[in-house]
C-alpha cells in the first residue's frame, strides 16, 4: 500500500519539480517569490481554493530561505 502511494506521489511530483523546490540561491528564491505573487493573485484569501496549500508551502520555502540565507548575508 505504501509503495503505491509513493508511486502516485512520484508521478504527480515530477512535473512540479520545475517550479516547486527548496531555493539554494537568489535566482531560485526570486523565482519562488514570483510564483507566490502569482498564487496570491489567483488564490487571494480563499482558504478553500485548490492551490491554497501550495501557496502556503511556497511561503514556507521562501521564509526558510530568508531565515537561513538572507539573515546570514546581512550579518556579515
| pLDDT tens, residue by residue, 3-43 | 999 999 999 999 999 999 999 999 999 999 999 999 999 99
C-beta atoms surrounding 3 within 10 Å: 7
How many CB atoms are closer than 10 A to CB 39?
19
User: Given a cut of 60, is residue 73 above it in pLDDT?
Assistant: no
Place of cell 530561505: 65
- Joined grid coordinates for residue 12: 504527480
Q: Which of 76, 69, 72, 75 is nearest to 28 (CA)?
A: 69
Query: What pTM was computed for the model?
Result: 0.83
| Distance, CA of 65 to CA of 49 (rounded, Å) | 25
Amino acid at each position: 500500500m505504501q509503495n503505491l502511494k509513493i508511486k502516485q506521489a512520484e508521478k504527480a511530483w515530477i512535473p512540479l519539480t520545475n517550479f516547486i523546490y527548496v531555493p539554494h540561491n537568489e535566482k531560485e528564491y526570486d523565482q519562488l517569490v514570483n510564483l507566490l505573487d502569482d498564487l496570491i493573485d489567483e488564490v487571494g484569501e480563499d482558504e478553500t481554493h485548490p492551490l491554497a496549500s501550495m501557496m502556503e508551502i511556497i511561503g514556507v520555502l521562501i521564509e526558510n530561505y530568508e531565515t537561513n540565507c538572507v539573515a546570514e548575508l546581512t550579518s556579515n
